[in-house]
Amino acid sequence: CQENLKLTMPWGHIAAKAWGSLRGPPVLCLHGWLDNANSFDRLIPLLPQDFYYVAMDFGGHGLSSHYGPGVPYYHQNFVNEVRRVVAALKWSRFSLMGHSFGEYPLFSCTFPEMVDELILLDTSPFEMENLLTYKRRAIEHVLQVEASQKPSRVVSPEEMLQGRSTALTSSAGSCSHTPSSSCRPASCLSSKSDPPPFSGWHQPPPS
């Protein structure tokens, strides 16, 4: 049985999904860069159900609120998010299961008294001696992205379909779908639905 959660944060909310027994040992499941909590949908049912699993969407990912303008998406902020989420869940100790990101060991090193077990799935390496270099590059990259961004505009479903059909090859174009009543109105579509610009420390932009 799965339950959807919505945890209030100062900038909005964090969306999460929960499985298992509320009375079981808690496990926080963390997705990778530009992913979301759905990445655990097929894994959790295969694990022992006497644990309580919570998979969260990081800020700017999945159904969670975006950060405010000028606030970058990088490791330090995600560690802060994890701490806020476990506070909202009222967990004092829990196990951490993370995919891809390199900040999961960073959280367990920052709050070792809170982590029972650390489970890493296809994680990326993170060298602590390069911490300042990564942070500097991330900040500079955010400034470059902001300086090059064009003003946001609303795009209608018809424009989106037209742009996609233009990019398709002639053979693939015959398979494109026509607009349906399920399309959202233009007022619902904005740049906020776009994924956040990359600024993660685990793969800094080239200098």
Half-sphere exposure of 3 (CA within 13 A, CB side): 11
Nearest to 52 by CA among 24, 28, 94: 24
pTM for this entry: 0.67
pLDDT digits (tens, 9 = 90+) for 51-105: 999 999 999 999 999 998 878 787 778 899 999 999 999 999 999 999 987 567 8
Half-sphere exposure of 137 (CA within 13 A, CB side): 16
From 64, 65, 100, 199, the catalytic residue = 100
Q: What pLDDT, on the 0 to 100 scale, is given for residue 177?
A: 44
Q: What pLDDT, on the 0 to 100 scale, is given for residue 167?
A: 63
Q: What pLDDT, on the 0 to 100 scale, is given for residue 118?
A: 94
100 tagged catalytic: yes
**119 vs 186 pLDDT, higher one:** 119
Domains of the chain: residue spans and CATH: 2-128 (3.40.50.1820)
- For residue 190, name the pLDDT band (cuts at 50, 70, 90): very low
